[in-house]
């Protein structure tokens, strides 16, 4: 999907478009916001004449979402960026902290607690506590790097809880690049408040389908509905009081209340349906009209307005005709009294109907009155929130290193004090390739300068070197996995805080007794090479690796102790993650897993996705399919190397390797990666750890298809490659 975060508003219509083989985008339907979730996209294809049961797009197809408000949202991001550049944001000089040449200095702020108290209250480790103190005493911009599994979410929750409960700030805006990160951080805050038997003043904005069950009671629409119900609950009694004050009976008041609060909205909807009748949707419209008319007839019966004639609800004067019948029923003759009471009803109806209008936004009211406002950077850019005029004592942006400058600008513009939390050594901001090329052409700047995040710029600036903090104890990965990540990407700086495995050793088969395992496909030669795939022809797949992964999972599915453990694991969390460096490989593996007859429990325990979709996620077992395997690279030591493509980007490989908790199994080529590149660094450290006994390498087993696809042969049994002998061969 070519969209940074699926977070659309209720007043948006989002068209779904498909990239065809001719490289053109064609509409296939409209996004159903109510049915869409984090892991599924629901498309209403009715107006595009899709036949029932017809497949809208093939597996692996590329989709694009085009909102009716896209240009407006883009304009708001542009306005937010311009506001910061012109020094008109809540903190005027924000731009200075992102310049390498800036001499901006942090402002020291007092702090009312000790390190010992903070560490004890929130169970923080030393690096988290030091970062906590630095962030609280250095303004206006705090910078926190959180490598994988180092407790960024816990840190954010502790900071918000402390600052609010100690009266340091009045309100906080919590934003992130993804809904999942917003949900996790906000739930962390909620748990801390509830642990002290209190409830925070909180609103979560965004598309309801993207919000966790825990936070749905705090969703802006739910809060609004609660306000509506409270208002409606007392409205009938207030209406009676007004009627009695005017001199009308309670019986007439109750009937008129039913007319104004129930009959009028249904009749108004009927008139709107009749006015906007679309011939292409004739059948659906006719059904709706019939249903609305029946509802009105039933309401008329309930009101017992029988004067020998029925109201013609299709008529433009139908509602006033019904009011006249009601007056006859109660023998009301004073038009002025009725006019006054109907005026009261109109005011109430207008309030009920206008709180979510774009002119008068209830979300904006919540954003200005709640202690905690949480949403994605894209979602917070909606006009209904009015962030251009809001002011927050603190703005925290998680996953800041993944945000584009305009995404960062939307929440940053509203903050007097800002904390950016991220990791520039993980995934970078997403930019369309054509945008990068055009920017390079116009500005004549290196590509690296364009794709670099503002978080990294600030962190590397003179200011960032003063205030920037890095968390250095990771709790996700067991030692061997975490150590590979530490050596390859963090200059051996990470420490490891978890030693107890999630999966008991007795539940795992012999081949998975090692935490770190590489299934090498090198010996298959060109038969294990990548192939061009995907509808756009821009993706890659590797059937050898897919077969090897399928074989591994089939063996695991036959190991009863593992299945017994799997039965105790939360299936929603997914015990096994299969990460692919290309989207087409994800789809190929899904097809393989469906075809090989895995048990339902095993199949349901597997999550298959791409690296780009995996930041912030984790699984007890991760299988990484490298996909990239070719002889298209430069010559080194008398042989062609692998052209690495995206595999040359350390950020992506870092994310791919750091999702595993108990077991990491890498499937793909181990040899011939170009010297000095990311994968060469990974394999070199892997060899180093093999010699230390922390990593293991085996030859992959897989069914290899011959070029004519007429026969298959099974690879030879696995054989462990000893570290020293392989080391000599590689060099």
pLDDT in tens, 312-351: 888 888 899 888 888 988 999 888 988 988 888 887 776 6
pLDDT per residue as tens digits for the range 34-49: 677 656 777 877 655 5
Mean pLDDT of 115-141: 96
Residue 438 lies in a domain: yes
> What is the pLDDT at residue 527?
95
Q: Are 87 and 181 in the same domain? A: yes
Let me know whether 560 and 507 are in one domain.
Answer: yes
| Gap between the Cα atoms of 521 and 527, Å rounded | 9
Clarify whether residues 92 and 195 are in a common domain.
Answer: yes
Instruction: Report yes or no on 647 lying in a domain.
Output: yes
Residue 299 forms part of a structural domain:
yes
Say whether both 43 and 84 belong to one domain. Answer: no
Strands (E), 386-515: 394-398, 418-422, 469-470, 473-474, 495-496
pTM higher than 0.85 for the full model? Answer: no
Rounded (10°) angle between helices 318-330 and 264-275: 160
For residue 66, what pLDDT is reported? 75
Which pLDDT band, with edges at 50, 70 and 90, does 731 fall under? very low
Residues 538 and 445 in one domain: no
Residue 537 has pLDDT above 90, yes or no: no
DSSP letter (8 states) at residue 429? P
Residue 179's closest CA among 223, 150, 216? 216
Is a pLDDT exceeding 60 seen at residue 561? yes
What average pLDDT does this structure show over 517-525? 96
- Tell whether 613 and 682 lie within a shared domain: yes
Report yes or no on 413 lying in a domain. yes
**Domain termination residue (choose one: 435, 453, 474):** 474
Give yes or no for residue 2 having a pLDDT over 50. Answer: no
**pLDDT higher than 90, residue 20:** no
**pLDDT attached to residue 47:** 59
Q: pLDDT grade, residue 84 (50/70/90)? A: very high
Do 330 and 418 reside in the same domain of the chain?
Answer: no
Higher pLDDT, 81 or 366: 81
- Residues 6+ positions from 41 with CB-CB distance below 8 Å: 1, 6, 16, 31, 63
pLDDT band at 126; cut points 50, 70, 90 = very high
State the average pLDDT over residues 183-195.
Answer: 95
543 pLDDT exceeds 80? yes
Residue 435 pLDDT exceeds 60? yes
pLDDT confidence of residue 6: 52
Taking the C-alpha atoms of residue 543 and residue 549, their distance in angstroms, rounded to an integer, is 10
The pLDDT assigned to 169 comes to: 96
Residues whose CB falls within 8 Å of the CB of residue 610, separated by 6 or more in sequence, listed in order: 579, 580, 581, 582, 583, 586
- With the C-alpha atoms ordered 697, 617, 188, 386, is the resulting torsion angle positive or negative? positive
Give the number of C-alpha atoms closer than 13 A to the C-alpha of residue 22, restricted to the C-beta side: 3
Q: Which residue range is the domain that position 344 belongs to?
A: 227-275+289-356
Do the Cβ atoms of 666 and 518 come closer than 8 Å? Answer: yes
The residue to which tokens 């999550």 are assigned: 607
Q: Per residue in 223-243, pLDDT tens?
A: 877 777 777 777 888 888 988
Q: Nearest 5 degrees, angle CA 199-CA 201-CA 202? A: 105
Long-range contacts of 616-619 (CB under 8 A, 24+ apart): 616/178, 616/180, 616/181, 616/184, 616/399, 617/180, 617/577, 617/659, 618/149, 618/476, 618/577, 618/659, 618/660, 618/661, 619/573, 619/574, 619/575, 619/576, 619/577, 619/659, 619/660, 619/661
Token match 């006009």: residue?
383
Task: Give the model's pLDDT for residue 31.
Answer: 79
The secondary element (H helix, E strand) that includes residue 262 is none
Q: In this structure, are 348 and 392 located in the same domain?
A: no
Residue 234, classed as helix, strand or coil, is helix
Does pLDDT of 718 surpass 60? Answer: no
More confident position, 265 or 604: 604
Per-residue pLDDT at 359:
38
- 657, 615 Cβ separation under 8 angstroms: no
pLDDT, the chain, mean: 86
With residues binned 3-state (H G I as helix, E B as strand, rest as coil), the percentages for the chain, rounded to 5, are 50, 15, 35
In contact, 613 and 657? CB cutoff 8 Å = no
Crossing angle between the packed helical segments 70-85 and 405-412, to the nearest 10 degrees: 70
Gyration radius of the chain over CA positions: 31
What is the structure's pLDDT at 304? 79
In whole angstroms, what is the distance from residue 627 CA to residue 542 CA? 5
22-26 CB contacts, 8 Å cutoff, 24+ apart:
23/536, 25/64
Question: What pLDDT, on a 0 to 100 scale, did the predictor assign at position 283?
Answer: 67
Short-list 23, 27, 22, CA closest to 56: 27
Q: How confident is the model at residue 127 (pLDDT cuts 50, 70, 90)?
A: very high
> How far, in Å, are 231, 365, 386 from residue 228 at the CA level?
5, 14, 21
Tokens 């080194």 correspond to 636
pLDDT digits (tens, 9 = 90+) for 276-296: 665 555 666 787 888 888 888
- Does a structural domain hold residue 704? no
Here the CATH number for the domain that contains residue 448 is 3.40.50.300
pLDDT category of residue 714 using cuts at 50, 70 and 90:
very low
Taking the C-alpha atoms of 432, 438, 441 and 445 in order, what is their torsion angle to the nearest 10 degrees? -40
The answer to whether residues 557 and 691 belong to one domain is: yes
What are residue 361's phi and psi, to 5 degrees?
-90, 125
pLDDT in tens, 687-713: 999 999 999 999 998 654 433 333 344
Is 459 within the bounds of a domain? yes
Full 3-state SS string of 599-637 = CHHHHHCEEEEEHHHCCCCCEEEEEEECCCCCCCCCEEC
| Structural domain count, the chain | 4
Q: Based on the domain organization, do 444 and 574 belong to the same domain?
A: no
Q: How far apart are CA 203 and CA 390, in angstroms?
A: 15
For residue 670, the model assigns a pLDDT of: 98
Q: Is the pLDDT assigned to residue 722 strictly greater than 50?
A: no
**Binning pLDDT at 50, 70 and 90, where does residue 55 land?**
low
Q: For residue 90, is it within any domain?
A: yes
Same domain, 469 and 340: no
Mean per-residue pLDDT, 297-325: 82
- Does 719 map to a domain? no
pLDDT digits (tens, 9 = 90+) for 382-433: 767 777 778 999 999 999 999 999 999 999 999 999 999 999 999 999 888 8
Rounded CA separation 635/637 (Å): 7
Q: What's residue 46's pLDDT?
A: 62
Percent of the chain exceeding pLDDT 90 equals 54
- The pLDDT assigned to 532 comes to 94
Distance between CA 89 and CA 82 in Å, rounded? 9
- Summarised one tens digit per residue, pLDDT across range 626-672 is 999 999 999 999 999 999 998 999 999 999 999 999 999 999 999 99
Name the more confident of 209 and 440. 440
Examine the domain organization and report whether 440 and 379 are in the same domain. Answer: yes
pLDDT in tens, 563-589: 999 999 987 889 999 999 999 999 999
Report the first-to-last Cα separation within the chain, whole angstroms: 41
User: What is the pLDDT confidence band of residue 221, given thresholds at 50, 70 and 90?
Assistant: confident
Name the domain boundary from 474, 493, 517.
474
């Amino acid at each position: 999907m070519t969209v940074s975060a699926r977070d659309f508003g209720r007043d948006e219509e989002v068209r779904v478009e498909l990239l065809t083989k001719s490289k053109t985008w064609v509409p296939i339907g409209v996004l159903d916001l109510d049915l869409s979730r984090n892991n599924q996209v629901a498309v209403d294809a009715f107006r595009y004449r899709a036949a029932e049961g017809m497949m809208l797009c093939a597996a692996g197809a590329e989709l694009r979402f085009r909102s009716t408000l896209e240009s407006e949202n883009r304009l708001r991001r542009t306005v937010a960026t311009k506001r910061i550049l012109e020094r008109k944001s809540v903190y005027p000089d924000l731009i200075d902290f992102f310049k390498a040449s800036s001499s901006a200095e942090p402002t020291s702020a007092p702090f009312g607690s000790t390190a010992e108290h903070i560490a004890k209250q929130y169970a923080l480790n030393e690096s988290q506590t030091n970062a906590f103190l630095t962030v609280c005493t250095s303004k206006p911009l705090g910078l926190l790097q959180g490598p994988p599994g180092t407790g960024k979410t816990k840190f954010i929750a502790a900071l918000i809880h402390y600052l609010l409960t100690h009266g340091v700030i009045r309100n906080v805006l919590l934003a992130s690049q993804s809904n999942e990160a917003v949900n996790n951080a906000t739930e962390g805050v909620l748990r801390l408040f509830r642990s002290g038997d209190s409830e925070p003043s909180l609103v979560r904005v965004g598309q309801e389908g993207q919000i966790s069950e825990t936070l749905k009671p705090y969703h802006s629409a739910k809060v609004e509905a609660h306000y509506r119900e409270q208002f409606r609950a007392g409205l009938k009694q207030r209406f009676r009081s007004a009627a009695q004050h005017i001199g009308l009976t309670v019986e007439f008041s109750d009937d008129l209340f039913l007319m104004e609060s129930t009959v009028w909205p249904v009749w108004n909807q009927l008139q709107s349906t009749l006015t906007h009748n679309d011939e292409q949707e004739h059948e659906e419209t006719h059904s709706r009209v019939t249903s609305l008319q029946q509802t009105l007839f039933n309401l008329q019966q309930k009101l017992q307005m029988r004067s020998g004639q029925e109201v013609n609800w299709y008529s433009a004067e139908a509602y006033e005709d019904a009011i006249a019948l009601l007056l006859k029923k109660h023998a009301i003759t004073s038009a002025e009294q009725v006019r006054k009471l109907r005026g009261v009803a109109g005011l109430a109806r207008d309030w009920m109907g206008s709180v979510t209008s774009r002119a008068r936004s209830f979300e904006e009211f919540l954003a200005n009155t709640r202690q905690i406002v949480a949403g994605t950077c894209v979602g917070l850019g909606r006009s209904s929130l009015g962030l251009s005029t809001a002011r927050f004592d603190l703005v925290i942006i998680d996953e800041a290193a993944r945000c584009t400058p305009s995404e960062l600008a939307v929440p940053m513009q509203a903050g007097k004090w800002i904390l950016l939390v991220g990791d520039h050594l993980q995934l970078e901001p997403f930019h369309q390739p054509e945008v990068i090329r055009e920017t390079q052409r116009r500005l004549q700047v290196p590509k690296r300068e364009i794709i670099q995040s503002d978080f990294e710029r600030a962190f590397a600036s003179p200011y960032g070197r003063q205030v920037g903090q890095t968390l250095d104890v990771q709790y996700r990965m067991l030692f061997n996995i975490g150590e590979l990540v530490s050596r390859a990407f963090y200059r051996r700086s990470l420490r490891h805080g978890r030693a107890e495995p999630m999966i008991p050793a007795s539940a795992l088969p012999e081949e998975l007794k090692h935490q770190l395992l590489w299934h090498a496909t090198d010996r298959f030669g060109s038969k294990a090479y990548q192939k061009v795939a995907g509808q756009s022809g821009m993706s890659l797949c590797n059937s050898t690796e897919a077969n090897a992964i399928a074989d591994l999972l089939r063996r695991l599915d036959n190991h009863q102790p593992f299945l017994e453990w799997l039965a105790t694991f939360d299936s929603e969390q997914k015990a096994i993650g299969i990460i692919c460096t290309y989207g087409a490989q994800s789809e190929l593996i899904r097809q393989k897993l469906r075809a090989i007859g895995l048990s339902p429990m095993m199949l349901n325990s597997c999550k298959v996705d791409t690296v780009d979709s995996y930041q912030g996620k984790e699984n007890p077992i991760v299988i990484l399919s490298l996909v990239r395997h070719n002889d298209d690279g430069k010559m080194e030591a008398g042989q062609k190397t692998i052209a690495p493509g995206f595999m040359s980007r350390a950020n992506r490989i870092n994310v791919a390797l750091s999702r595993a908790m108990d077991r990491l199994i890498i499937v793909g080529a181990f040899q011939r990666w170009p010297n000095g590149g990311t994968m060469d660094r990974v394999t070199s450290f892997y060899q180093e750890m093999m010699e230390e006994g922390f990593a293991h390498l085996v030859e992959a087993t897989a069914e290899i298809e011959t070029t004519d696809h007429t026969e298959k042969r099974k690879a030879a049994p696995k054989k462990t490659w000893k570290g020293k002998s392989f080391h000599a061969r590689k060099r």
